[in-house]
Amino acid sequence: MAFQFQLTSHFRRCLRCSTGKDSSYALSRRAFWASAIVRTEASTENIPSNLDIPPPGRLLDPNKVATPRLERRLLRETKQQPIGSRRRRAALQSTSNLPFEQLPYQCFQEARTLLLADRQDKLRQINEERRRIAKVQATPAELCGGEYVKKGRLVRMQKYLEDLKILADINDPVIKKRFEDGEGDMNRPIYRYLADRQWRQQRRLILMQRINQMHIVPDMVPYLDPTAEVRLFFGRRNVQPGDFVESRNSETPPRLSIQVFDRGERLVSIVVIDPDVPNVETDSFDSRCHFLAVNVPISPTSTSVSLAKMSDDSDTIRPWLPPHAQKGSPYHRLVVFILEQKDGQRLDSQGLKRMVENQAAQFNIRSCMDKVHGKLTGIHLFRTKWDDGMAGVMQRADIAGADIELKRMKPEKLPYKKKNPERYR
């Protein structure tokens, strides 16, 4: 015990002082710490810092801005959005220009090997399912239990095949990188699935919230389950659902972006309705059609629809009527409906044009859905109200009523609340 105590006190003395009679130990200790620091500095010397800020005159790379300050500077100088997530941009800033799938990380490469093996198994199942579908298609309906049973079985097998196509690529990091960078091909099922999931996680929830707050259901339609994303642009402004749009901006026809998430091209009808037109005679509100076009082709890759270019089209039944509201009236809701035409059949635009002319003051979206045999797949809405430019817009569009101001009438008192004049005679 005495030896252990002396040895411990000896080491304490050597660690606390750098000089003394045990100078050889002190020198070796200093050499050890100095060598370790040199090795650490040498290992981190070639790694660039993520906080390096380029000089003001140098253009920023949207793939490598990794701080909020640089993101704001990128938007201010180049009007570009950063590409991908901030974590990915920080990783690209601190690594060399290697392909994403060749990053020299052992865990990453081991995970890719496992994912590739799983993908090969899914591809084998896809080929097997295709072979089974071809076999069922070649089998007579009598041997399958009837035409109805055969058709239902083929529908279930096709759905399972589409699920396998998504499962084959859902875990691929290259697929996720391309989707984050906006380089996904919407002809492939995996990118349509990722886009649909991203839309339903946030933007669709906001849209449904605005629809419920502004009573689109049940004022106009009894039920609504949108499956296509609709975005509305007046000029460069991306109008959010329920936003107010100035009359000067909404005077020109907008541009729509209709993104569907299932494959194939289809024909849709575009209807814009204002359900808040005041009717003084009946003391109620009427509906007015501001735009109606049928037989509009869209697909997962062809999403842009310009209403201005459709004004002279034969399938445009009602050209764009600028939204307007009289002074004193409450705000008007302008609702954009996207109706998918049944089985992709083209509609008779002349017959629908006569219907719109007969129902110019009482245009109903429910009757329109019955006429076009359409399914409601997409919706968007914005609002308008009286502003400084509304009178000029109505004058240029030859719309009467700009000089009329609506005022609320004082409600008549109930009979039992009226004062009896005989008491004051």
Q: State the Cα–Cα distance between residues 92 and 179, nearest whole angstrom.
A: 17
pLDDT in tens, 210-242: 999 999 999 999 999 999 999 999 999 999 999
Q: At what angle do helices 147-169 and 106-138 cross, to 10 degrees?
A: 170
Residue 164: its H or E element:
helix 147-169
In the block, which residue shows the tokens 């993101």? Answer: 71
Q: What integer is the mean pLDDT of 244-269?
A: 95
Which is more confidently placed, 25 or 107?
107
**What is this structure's pTM?**
0.74
- Residue 418 is predicted with a pLDDT of 67
Q: What integer is the mean pLDDT of 35-43?
A: 36
> Is residue 276's pLDDT more than 90?
yes
Neighbours of 418 (CB within 10 A): 9
Mark residue 179 as left, alpha or beta (left: phi above 0; alpha: psi -120 to 50; beta: remaining).
Answer: alpha
In the block, which residue shows the tokens 């669709």? Answer: 204
Across all residues in the chain, what is the average pLDDT?
Answer: 83
Q: State the Cα–Cα distance between residues 215 and 224, nearest whole angstrom.
A: 12
At residue 55 the predicted structure's pLDDT band, cuts being 50, 70 and 90, is low
Q: State the Cα–Cα distance between residues 186 and 402, nearest whole angstrom.
A: 47
56 prior amide bond cis, ω within 30: no
Amino acid at 151: K
Phi, psi torsion values for 14, nearest 5 degrees: -70, -35
Q: State the Cα–Cα distance between residues 37 and 12, nearest whole angstrom.
A: 23
Neighbours of 326 (CB within 10 A): 20
Q: Which segment of 48-62, 84-98, 173-187, 296-310 scores lowest on mean pLDDT?
A: 48-62
pLDDT in tens, 317-371: 999 999 999 999 999 999 999 999 988 888 888 777 876 776 655 778 888 888 8
The residue count for the chain? 425
- Residue 423 is predicted with a pLDDT of 64
The two three-digit tokens of residue 74, written as one number = 């990128």
Check if the beta carbon of residue 319 is closer than 8 Å to that of residue 311: yes
DSSP 345-368: PPP-HHHHHHHHHHTSSB--HHHH
The two three-digit tokens of residue 313, written as one number = 């089209």
In the block, which residue shows the tokens 């941009």? Answer: 89
The residues near 187 (Cβ < 8 Å, ≥ 6 apart) are 263, 300, 301
The two three-digit tokens of residue 330, written as one number = 């409450």
